[in-house]
C-alpha cells in the first residue's frame, strides 16, 4: 500500500456553524469549531495485489474500518481503522459475489449493501464481506420502470432506498427486498429529482439525496415527503454528502472537484478545492465523502486514490 502522510500547517478558510435543522438529531456540541481542510494521508498504488483504480464508494463499519468500492477493479476492499488493507471481495463477473463497477454502499447491523451498478443489483454482504443475497434492480414485467441504481440507504424500519440515476426517482424496498413504492419523479423543483446520486439516512428518519442534475441537495422526511433543499450558486454536480457530529453537511461536487460545508440550517460555511493542501494535485471527478470523527475521507476517483483529510482549528 502506498501511503503518504502530508501535514500542512496553513489555514485555508474559517467556518463557524450553529443551530439545528428540522428533523435531524441535535449536534454533539453547541458551537462548531473553526475549520480548514488539509490532507494527512493518501492511499493509492498497489492494494492487495492490484493497483487501485477509480475508487468510488466509501463506508465506515462499526469497528471503524474503512470500506472502499474499488470500481475499476470490480472489488470491495476493507482497511483497518489504522488504514492497513485487510481483505478484498469480488472481482469482475455476473455471478453471486462478483461485481461490475460497484459504487455507493451503506453499512447496517448485519453487514452492508453495495450497489453493483454494472449488474443492476444491490448486493448484501455480511460483516466479513461474504455475499448473502441481492435485490435485482429490475422488473421483467415492467422493464421501463427501472434505469441505473446509484445510491443506497436503509431507513429506521429496515426499508431500503435506492436512487435511480436514469429514471430520476427513488425505489423503496421492504425489509425482505420486495418492491414497496417509488418516490419522486423527474423534474426541476420541489420534490422532483434529476439524476440523483448518493442517498443517506439520518437517525431522525429523514433522507438526504444528492440531486446532482438539479445542482442541489434534497431532504425528504421518513415518509418520502419533500422537506427542503440546500442550494448554492456554485454547485455544479453535488454527488455525495456526509453529516458530521455537529450536524454540518459536507457536500462533494464531482464536476467542480470541490468540498462544500453547510451549517445544520443550510448556511454555507466553507468551500475548498479542487486544490486541497497536502493533496499534491487537484481533485479529479471525486465520487464520495465520509466524515468519521475528525477524519474527512474523499474518494478522489479520477486520480485513483483515497484522501484522508482533517480539519485545522484556529
Q: pLDDT tens digits, residue range 263-292? A: 999 999 999 999 999 999 999 999 999 999
Answer whether residue 1 shows pLDDT above 50: no
Give the 3-state secondary structure of the chain.
Answer: CEEEECCCCCCCCCCCCCCCCCCCCCCCCCCCCCCEEEEEEEEECEECCEECCCEEEEEECCCCCEEEEEHHHCEEEEECCCCCEEEEEECECCCCCCECCEEEEEECCCEEEEEEHHHCEEEEEECCCCEEEEEECCCCCCHHHCCCEEEEEECCCCCEEEEECCCCEEEEECCCCCEEEEECCECCCCCCECCEEEEEECCCCCEEEEEHHHCEEEEECCCCCEEEEEECCCCCCEEEEEECCCCCEEEEECCCCEEEEECCCCCEEEEECCCCCCCCCCCCCCCEEEEECCEEEEEEHHHCEEEEEEEECC
The per-residue pLDDT for 143 is 85
Q: What CATH homologous superfamily does 9-61+148-312 map to?
A: TolB, C-terminal domain (2.120.10.30)
> How confident is the model over 112-127, as pLDDT tens digits?
999 999 999 999 999 9
Answer whether residue 293 shows pLDDT above 70: yes
Q: Please say whether the beta carbons of 287 and 299 come within 8 A.
A: yes
> How confident is the model over 147-168, as pLDDT tens digits?
999 999 999 999 999 999 999 9
Single out the residue of 108, 103, 150 nearest to residue 125, CA to CA.
108
> How confident is the model over 30-47, as pLDDT tens digits?
345 446 899 999 999 999
Answer whether residue 6 shows pLDDT above 50: no
Single out the residue of 10, 27, 61, 19 nearest to residue 263, CA to CA.
19
Flag whether the pTM goes above 0.85: yes
The per-residue pLDDT for 13 is 29
> What nine digits make up the cell of 87?
481483505
The per-residue pLDDT for 21 is 38
What is the C-alpha to C-alpha distance for residues 296 and 39, in angstroms, rounded to an integer? 9
The per-residue pLDDT for 314 is 55
Amino acid at each position: 500500500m502506498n501511503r503518504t502522510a502530508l501535514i500542512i500547517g496553513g489555514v485555508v478558510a474559517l467556518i463557524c456553524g450553529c443551530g439545528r435543522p428540522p428533523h435531524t438529531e441535535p449536534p454533539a456540541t453547541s458551537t462548531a469549531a473553526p475549520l480548514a481542510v488539509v490532507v494527512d494521508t493518501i492511499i493509492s498504488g498497489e492494494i492487495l495485489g492490484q493497483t487501485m483504480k477509480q475508487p468510488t464508494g466509501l463506508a465506515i463499519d462499526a469497528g471503524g474500518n474503512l470500506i472502499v468500492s474499488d470500481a475499476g477493479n470490480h472489488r470491495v476492499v476493507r482497511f483497518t481503522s489504522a488504514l492497513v488493507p485487510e481483505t478484498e471481495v469480488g472481482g469482475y463477473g455476473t455471478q453471486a459475489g462478483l461485481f461490475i463497477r460497484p459504487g455507493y454502499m451503506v453499512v447496517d447491523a448485519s453487514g452492508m449493501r453495495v450497489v453493483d451498478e454494472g449488474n443492476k443489483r444491490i448486493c448484501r454482504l455480511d460483516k466479513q464481506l461474504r455475499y448473502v443475497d441481492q435485490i435485482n434492480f429490475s422488473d421483467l414485467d415492467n422493464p421501463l420502470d427501472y434505469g441505473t441504481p446509484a445510491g443506497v440507504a436503509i431507513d429506521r424500519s429496515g426499508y431500503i432506498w435506492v436512487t435511480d440515476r436514469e429514471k430520476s426517482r427513488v425505489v423503496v424496498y421492504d425489509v425482505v427486498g420486495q418492491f414497496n413504492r417509488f418516490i419522486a419523479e423527474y423534474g426541476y423543483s420541489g420534490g422532483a429529482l434529476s439524476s440523483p446520486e448518493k442517498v443517506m439516512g439520518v437517525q431522525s428518519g429523514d433522507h438526504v439525496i444528492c440531486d446532482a442534475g438539479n445542482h442541489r441537495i434534497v431532504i425528504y422526511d421518513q415518509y418520502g415527503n419533500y422537506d427542503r433543499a440546500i442550494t448554492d450558486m456554485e454547485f455544479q454536480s453535488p454527488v455525495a454528502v456526509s453529516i458530521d457530529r455537529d450536524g454540518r453537511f459536507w457536500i462533494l461536487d464531482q464536476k467542480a472537484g470541490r468540498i462544500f460545508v453547510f451549517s445544520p440550517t443550510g448556511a454555507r460555511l466553507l468551500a475548498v478545492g479542487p486544490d486541497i493542501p497536502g493533496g499534491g494535485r487537484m481533485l479529479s471527478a471525486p465520487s464520495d465523502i465520509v466524515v468519521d470523527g475528525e477524519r474527512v475521507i474523499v474518494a478522489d476517483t479520477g486520480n485513483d486514490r483515497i484522501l484522508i483529510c482533517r480539519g485545522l482549528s484556529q
